[in-house]
């Protein structure tokens, strides 16, 4: 169920079914600024979980805390069912992460760059490095370009290589901070497709974004941040279930049209300049059209309007969501 934190306790899947759980996670920076405020996240195993919020809403700070790169001021968290930070050494090899873009050498090939990354991991067995690197390149679709120099890679290829670096070794959880930031539309499509593919292989993906449309296309679940606080989280399908479609009739006969809509038992009947509308509910648009025409209403246009996910967020949070951050 989708929950709005102000109204109900936070959602969600029971902790044992989750790859990532936080309870009251808080970060107050020196100087007093609270960047993350009492965050309760529950990321179901196997989900593609969008961590959505405008720039500055606390996403990167949260991700840095999850990975042990910043210490929380308060709260607890678990990765793969293991309490952190105590379990970090045991769990980190099962978690891939892309936080600040990894630095790659422009004059080395993608493969040689990954070799350097792999060699820096003390847990990785050097005898199996080639197989591991080959598999990671294959998973991100760069096998054919493995020998190409990094500087000849497109933006999308560069980001896919960064994801390959996070996928050196089998991962149960992948944490990606704004993986499409700075990419052109083609690169964005490539990375989105890759994230979906990784998820179908059973890896839970936790991915931050400030783009609502992107999360909508890529994710099964979403959590919405605003000003360091969680305002909603749950499956996107539940968000959709909360949408109320409306029927809109363009007509000079607004009063008559409104009377017909009310007569059909539709809720939320409203009239405006040259139009009348109502909530569609389970009514069939063609029946509404027929009823209007039978009643002598001059129908100039008829449309079913389904609110965007952004409209749903506005309804849930009582404020707008700036999709461009
Ligand atoms: N080291 C720091 N010291 C003080 N304030 C910080 C520090 N790091 C982040 N902040 C502040 O904390 C808030 C949350 O920042 P954060 O980077 O986590 O947000 P974000 O949602 O990831 O945004 P972006 O996508 O722009 O990185 C911002 O107001 C930011 O200025």
DSSP string across 159-177: HHHHHHHHTSS--SEEEEE
Q: Given this model, what pLDDT does residue 320 score?
A: 57
Location of structure tokens 């967020």: 313
61 CB within 6 A, ligand 1:
yes
55 CB within 6 A, ligand 1:
yes
Domains in the chain: boundaries: 3-241, 246-306
Looking at ligand 1, which atom is closest to the CA of residue 181? 25
Structure-token pair, residue 323: 């999709």
CA distance 137 to 224: 32
Q: How far is CA 135 from CA 120, 129, 146, 192, in A?
A: 18, 10, 11, 19
Looking at ligand 1, which atom is closest to the CA of residue 62? 18
- State the distance from the centre of ligand 1 to the C-alpha of 33, rounded, in angstroms: 10
Q: What are phi and psi of 45, to 5 degrees?
A: -55, 135
Architecture per CATH, domain 246-306, reads as: 2-Layer Sandwich (3.30)
Cβ–Cβ under 8 Å, residues 62 and 72: no
- State the distance from the centre of ligand 1 to the C-alpha of 171, rounded, in angstroms: 27
Q: Running along the chain, 325 residues long, what does each successive block of 10 average in pLDDT?
A: 43 75 95 92 95 89 94 95 90 86 88 92 86 89 92 88 86 91 81 88 92 87 91 84 84 96 94 93 92 95 84 64 48
Pick from 60, 66, 70, 231 the residue to mutate for probing ligand 1's pocket: most ligand atoms within 8 Å of its CB. 60
Confidence (pTM): 0.79
The partner residues of 221 in beta bridges, in order of sequence, read 49, 235
Q: Given this model, what pLDDT does residue 323 score?
A: 46
Looking at ligand 1, which atom is closest to the CA of residue 57? 21
Structure-token pair, residue 22: 């936080």
- State the distance from the centre of ligand 1 to the C-alpha of 120, rounded, in angstroms: 28
53 CB within 6 A, ligand 1:
yes
Q: Given this model, what pLDDT does residue 317 score?
A: 59
Helix (H), strand (E) at residue 297:
none
282 CB within 6 A, ligand 1:
no
Q: How far is CA 321 from CA 36, 57, 175, 309, in A?
A: 18, 12, 23, 10
* CA-closest residue to ligand 1 atom 10: 35
Q: Given this model, what pLDDT does residue 4 score?
A: 45
* Superfamily for the 3-241 domain: P-loop containing nucleotide triphosphate hydrolases (3.40.50.300)
CA distance 38 to 317: 17
SS3 content of the chain, % helix, strand, coil (to 5): 35, 25, 40
* CA-closest residue to ligand 1 atom 25: 55
Location of structure tokens 């979980």: 49
- State the distance from the centre of ligand 1 to the C-alpha of 70, rounded, in angstroms: 12
- So what's the ipTM on this one? 0.94
Q: Given this model, what pLDDT does residue 238 score?
A: 81
35 CB within 6 A, ligand 1:
yes
Pick from 51, 54, 56 the residue to mutate for probing ligand 1's pocket: most ligand atoms within 8 Å of its CB. 56
């Amino acid at each position: 169920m989708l929950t709005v934190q102000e109204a109900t306790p936070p959602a969600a899947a029971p902790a044992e079914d989750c790859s990532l759980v936080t309870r009251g996670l808080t970060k107050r920076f020196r100087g007093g600024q609270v960047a993350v405020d009492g965050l309760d996240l529950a990321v179901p195993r196997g989900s593609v979980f969008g961590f959505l919020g405008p720039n500055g809403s606390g996403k990167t700070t949260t991700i840095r805390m999850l990975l042990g790169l910043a210490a929380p001021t308060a709260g607890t968290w678990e990765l793969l069912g293991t309490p952190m930070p105590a379990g970090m050494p045991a769990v980190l090899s099962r978690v891939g992460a892309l936080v600040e873009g990894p630095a790659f050498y422009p004059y080395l090939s993608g493969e040689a760059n990954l070799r350097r990354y792999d060699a820096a991991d003390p847990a990785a067995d050097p005898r199996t490095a080639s197989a591991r690197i080959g598999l990671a390149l294959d998973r991100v679709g760069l096998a054919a370009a493995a020998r190409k120099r990094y500087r000849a890679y497109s933006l999308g290829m560069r980001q896919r290589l960064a994801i390959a670096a996070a996928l050196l070794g089998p991962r149960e959880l992948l944490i990606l901070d704004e993986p499409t930031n700075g990419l052109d539309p083609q690169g964005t499509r490539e990375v989105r497709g890759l994230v979906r593919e990784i998820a179908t292989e059973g890896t839970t993906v936790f991915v931050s974004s400030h783009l609502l449309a992107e999360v909508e296309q890529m994710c099964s679940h979403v959590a919405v941040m605003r000003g360091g606080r969680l305002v909603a989280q749950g499956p996107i399908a539940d968000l959709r279930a909360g949408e109320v479609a409306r029927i809109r009739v363009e007509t000079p006969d607004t009063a008559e049209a409104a009377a017909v809509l009310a007569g059909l038992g539709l809720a939320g009947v409203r009239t405006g300049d040259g139009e009348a509308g109502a909530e569609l509910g389970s009514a069939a648009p063609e029946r509404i059209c027929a009823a209007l025409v039978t009643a002598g209403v001059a129908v100039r246009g008829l449309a079913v309007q389904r609110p965007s996910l952004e409209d749903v967020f506005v309804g849930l949070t009582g404020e707008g969501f700036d999709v461009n951050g």
